[in-house]
Structure 1
Amino acid sequence: MDIVVEHLTKRYGPQKAVDNVSFRVKAGEVLGFLGPNGAGKTTTMKAISCYINPDEGDVKVGGYSIKEHPEIIKKNIGYLPENNPLYQDMNIIDFLEFIAKIHGIPRYLIPERILDMVRICGLEGEKHKLISELSKGYQQRVGLAQALIHDPEILILDEPTTGLDPNQIVEIRELIKRIGKEKTVILSSHILAEVEATCDRILIINNGRIVVDGTAEELRKQAAGNEILKLGIQGGDVNDIFESLLNLETVDSVDFIDIDKQLFEVQSLKEETSVKPIFDLCVRNNYYISELTPTEKKLEDIFRQLTLH
């Protein structure tokens, strides 16, 4: 099922939590919804899940509008909210049976669906425990199981690894990747590594507006701009080398990284590369290169650049 968000706006008093947001998620895609806390991620996901009504705009899921057919959309969506509300005094099997009945799954199918969820979410060793006895990681697995038990076509996960330890984070990410091979997934997070590890495409939202839409690779290329080289040159006076680099026709700027080690950061002019001119310079002056490394803009830098305003 495709998801089409059209000009979505939601206000809380005078504050616009979501401001004229539009995007599309294709069937079978894992979309990372990235942004700082308070950017509008949760509000957007609640609107898609029919938990809140937008003030303006619409969301269509498989062609159905959240305004006209919320009951059809809810049947096709599995939702794991950030705080993962679970009944702590129930054991896993009883809880999943309760959720299955709420979703109207026929009684004769419920035991099979519960066994499927226990297997898919890795709950075999814990299935008879009370939810209150489970670690945070296993409680997240139970949350995923309740979101999946009615076999929805779309899975919406709001900050799914909040509060987990590193091992649990890796396990939940692997689980999401496996599920993502069969379903459309929207995953919100403020953790870049999480989105990059699990998602096909990234939306960055800030102050209620989408500021970026693309793959991690596309974001890097888009933000890369001019070529930046980390360059080490030996065999000459550091100031002479600095001046010579600055005088190259392809070079926009030169900066020192470490004067003692004679390490420089060289930024080329737009759509130019300085690699060959640097080699030619070294040959002419009997310098030798100790290091020449292209510097890629990190996703963290791009994220900060886009969300600090």
Structure 2
Amino acid sequence: MAALIEIERLTKRFGAFTAVDDVSFSVDRGEVVGFLGPNGAGKSTTMKMLAGFVTPSAGTARICGKDVVDDPVAAKRSLGYLPEGAPTYPEMTVTAFLKFVARIRGYRGIEAGERVEDAMDLTQLQGVRLQPIETLSKGFKRRVGLAQALLHDPPVLVLDEPTDGLDPNQKHEVRELIRRMAPDKAILISTHILEEVDAVCTRAIIIAHGKVLADSPPSALAKPGKSLEQVFRDLTARPAEAA
């Protein structure tokens, strides 16, 4: 059976600058893959191409077998995407925004209401359900973004910094949620928090200068006498020519 996420020789150029350079990897159901790299490494650009928000210069990406360029609507039906910054409509209340997302996803009536309630329960938003999103803290805004990604129970999740802005308790709750969902989904998480990789990820992909430098279970990346953090620093500190 094909992987739920397939990325083949994905490349993105902005003029003379190559942001993502011939990247290939796949993610199977049951895998949680940590996508690691310093700022400007190409993580978010890769995720935006996978989510259909940026068109690749070369290569291809598929979600559940559907090409994100040739069949974008079908690909997005199977995708829950939490982008960097989690843009929303700030004047809407949490409930109104999630109902709007449910309608876009094609849900109506009782089913739409149930989807919204389930998403709020998963992300613990019931206490702020009637507040305008613009009045929420950064952590709650992040949870609203996560709720919209989970609302249609997709088989693929692409999460860009899912715990950004959360306090330690909220980070623990989101990590536990990811663990619970993991057996039934393929999950790709961009993060700069290495403890998060150890906590929830079955694999870690390290990218720098637009190229994949390592792809292994977190425990296999650590060398004798070196932590994952030290290995990450060693790999990503290399100049672009060496990478």
User: TM-score if structure 1 supplies the norm length?
Assistant: 0.73
1:1-309 matches, within 5 Å, as: 2-220=4-222, 223-224=223-224, 296-309=225-238
Pairwise CA RMSD of aligned residues?
1.5
Shift of 1:134: 2.1
Question: Structure 1 residues 131-140 or 72-81, which shifts more?
Answer: 131-140
Does the CA contact (< 8 Å) of 2:34 and 2:205 recur in 1? yes
Does the CA contact (< 8 Å) of 2:55 and 2:69 recur in 1? yes
Structure 2 unaligned segments of length 5 or more: list them.
Answer: 239-243
CA distance in 1, matches of 2:129, 2:196: 27
CA distance in 2, matches of 1:206, 1:91: 39
Does the CA contact (< 8 Å) of 1:176 and 1:198 recur in 2? yes
Letter in 1 for 2:152: H
Structure 1 unaligned segments of length 5 or more: list them.
Answer: 225-295
> Equivalent residue of 1:161, what SS?
coil
Larger radius of gyration: 1
Q: Deviations over 1:27-65 (max 9, x none)?
A: 221110000010000011011111111111111222221
User: TM-score if structure 2 supplies the norm length?
Assistant: 0.92
Q: Deviations over 1:63-111 (max 9, x none)?
A: 2212211110011101111111122211111111011111112333111
Shift of 1:122: 1.2
Shift of 1:144: 0.8
CA distance in 1, matches of 2:67, 2:26: 14
Letter in 2 for 1:193: E
Shift of 1:8: 0.7
CA distance in 2, matches of 1:301, 1:38: 19
CA distance in 1, matches of 2:35, 2:196: 11
> Equivalent residue of 2:54, what SS?
coil
% identical aligned pairs: 47
> Equivalent residue of 2:25, what SS?
strand
CA distance in 1, matches of 2:195, 2:95: 33
Shift of 1:157: 0.6
